[in-house]
Amino acid sequence: MPVSTAADADADVKSAPVDTMCPYRLVLEHVTSRWGVLVLIELLDRPYRFSELRRAIGRVSDRMVSEKMLTQTLQTLERDGLVHRDAKPVIPPRVDYSLTDLGREAAEQVRALALWTERRIPEVLEAREVYDTRKAAAEQG
């Protein structure tokens, strides 16, 4: 695949010419995206309706995901075959989101990474303190 020039290297990922991106990188970016990670982990528990899922993510994140961003995230994961969208023909309309078998595999990998992170937070916080103290000392001395 083409390696672009340094000139556009700082551009946002969303402006990348998507068709020239390696599919592997692109899918990895979907499953590691800010909201993709949380959607996959929440759906491991059970299927969710849209607004329920939005609230569930709000509880584990530092902020609510906007309806627009959650819609985009779900569409991307659905197109990749990771999420199943089930629109029931009832009134009022009811749409359930769940993981496909493929999505469950992805979500389990993502959850393993998330659990590792959670477990290692004390070590990370300690490392940060050492780093910041050393940096402050270097700036003073």
Nearer to a second copy, 59 or 88 (CB): 59
Cβ at position 92, least distance to a second copy in Å? 21
Which residues of the shown chain bind a second copy in the complex (CB under 8 A)?
1-6, 8-10, 13, 16, 20-25, 27-29, 31-34, 37, 58-66, 68-69, 78-82, 102, 105-106, 109-110, 112-114, 116-118, 120-121, 123-128, 130-132
d(CA 2, CA 88) in angstroms, rounded, equals: 43
What DSSP letter does each residue of 70-87 carry, written as one string? Answer: HHHHHHHHHHTTSEEEEE
Cβ at position 97, least distance to a second copy in Å? 15
| Contact yes or no for 13/76 (Cβ under 8 A) | no
Cβ at position 11, least distance to a second copy in Å? 8
Residue among 38, 31, 45, 77 at smallest CA distance from 59: 38
Cβ at position 91, least distance to a second copy in Å? 20
CA separation (Å) from 1 to 19, 23, 67, 80?
10, 10, 34, 21
Cβ at position 76, least distance to a second copy in Å? 10
* Token pair in block for residue 43: 């759906």
- With a CB cutoff of 8 Å and minimum separation 6, the contacts of 11 are none
